[in-house]
Structure formats: structure tokens, C-alpha cells
Chain A
Amino acid sequence: GAGVSQTPSNKVTEKGKYVELRCDPISGHTALYWYRQSLGQGPEFLIYFQGTGAADDSGLPNDRFFAVRPEGSVSTLKIQRTERGDSAVYLCASSRSFQETQYFGPGTRLLVL
């Protein structure tokens, strides 16, 4: 079956611009997670959705970052006024329910110039 997909696979933008990153989870998975991996680090948690609601957004670094999942399926991570430090691989994962195996997409590589 289809796995988690993420678009775009690569995104280059200029400092100060707005970007949107999209995640299509595995069909039927109610839990959706966003992580960010910076160079030399392991992935770091950003936000977790259970259905349409953000159950835990404690990992979002500041108010420039926002994520939605309006119909409980596709999610969009939005970054306003991008900064060079936002450059990273943004990973999305989904699972059937909380605590079960998380299946990851291939990531979006964001470069802010």
C-alpha cells in the first residue's frame, strides 16, 4: 500500500519568505507527527495530531511555525518569515493510533538562503 508522502521533496527559499510543507499520511492513520532534523542531529519532535486536533505542539520552536490538519488526513506545516536556522529536513510520520509504530515519509529538505 501507499506509504507516507511529503511534498515538495526539496524547497529553496529566501530569508523572510513564507513556506508550506505538505504531508499525506497512510490512509486510516489517525495520528500524525512532524519532526525536524538539523545537520548532525537526530530528528526533533515538533507537533502531534490526533485526528484534526493538535494534541501536543510543545516542540514548535516559536510562533512562526504553525501546522493544520483540517480533515484529519493531510497536514500542512507552515513557516512564516523563514530564517536561515530553519534549514533542515522536515519529516512527517503517521501511525494507526498513539503509541503504535510511526511510519515516516521521505522528508522535505528546506534550505533558507
Chain B
Amino acid sequence: ILNVEQSPQSLHVQEGDSTNFTCSFPSSNFYALHWYRWETAKSPEALFVMTLNGDEKKKGRISATLNTKEGYSYLYIKGSQPEDSATYLCAFFRGNLIFGKGTKLSVKP
């Protein structure tokens, strides 16, 4: 059974704090890792698709790194804003997406 683990389960930070969370996945037969942001009552929004070991991707204040050899990816948010409050999901691609349970981020103004 393929397992994708995310930590922490939830995170509460103050506006302006920088934060990061972890996604761990099987390191064998790697194809791609996807990151999504899911705000309540909205569609999950694609953030990054990462395919190569050592990949670093950036979108505004959000960035992600990938280590396929050890099976982990980090998502970083610099200077968190209240609008960053959402659940962040990572998903391992193996023909279909295998999701972790997500990290729920709350940013207090």
C-alpha cells in the first residue's frame, strides 16, 4: 500500500510568520509529486508539479523543494498572510494521485 504522510496535521501562525510543512512519500518508482491548496468551499488549486530530484519551484511567497532519493518534499510560505489560510495537500502521482491528509494552515491577522 502506498502511503503519503503530511506533517504537521495543523498549524496556527501569526500574520508575517514564515512557515513550512513536510510531505513524505515512497522513494521507489517516482514519477511526480503534486502540491495543492484547498480553501473551504472552493476547488483545490494546483500549486506545483515536481518531477526531478532537487527541483525547487516558486510561486509568489510559496516555494517547494523535492528530494526523491529520501522521499520528501517541503512547502515553504514566506511572510504568511490571512489569505494563505487553507489546507495544503501533497499527492504522489502513480497513475492517479495518492493524497496525504493535508496540513491545515490558519494565519491570524
Q: Which residues of A contact B (CB under 8 A)?
A: 3-4, 33, 35, 40-45, 48, 56, 59, 91, 99-107
Could you mark each residue 90-105 of chain B with 1 if its beta carbon is under 8 Å from any beta carbon of chain A, else 0?
0101011111111000
Known interface pairs A33-B96, A59-B96. Does A106 touch B102 (Cβ–Cβ under 8 Å)? no
A40–B100 alpha-carbon span in the complex (Å): 11
Q: How large is the interface on B (under 10, 10 to 19, 20 to 34, 35 or more residues)?
A: 20 to 34
B86 at the interface (CB under 8 A from A): no
Known interface pairs A42-B4, A56-B95. Does A91 touch B101 (Cβ–Cβ under 8 Å)? no
On chain A, the residues within 8 Å of B49 by CB distance are 100-101
Q: Which residues of B contact A (CB under 8 A)?
A: 4, 6, 31-32, 34, 36, 41-46, 49, 89, 91, 93, 95-102
B42 CB to nearest chain A CB (Å): 6
B67 CB to nearest chain A CB (Å): 20
Q: Are B43 and A48 in contact (CB under 8 A)?
A: no
A selection of 18 A-B contacts at a CB cut-off of 8 Å is: A33-B96, A35-B97, A40-B101, A41-B101, A42-B99, A42-B100, A42-B101, A43-B89, A45-B98, A56-B95, A59-B96, A99-B31, A100-B49, A101-B34, A103-B43, A104-B36, A106-B41, A106-B42
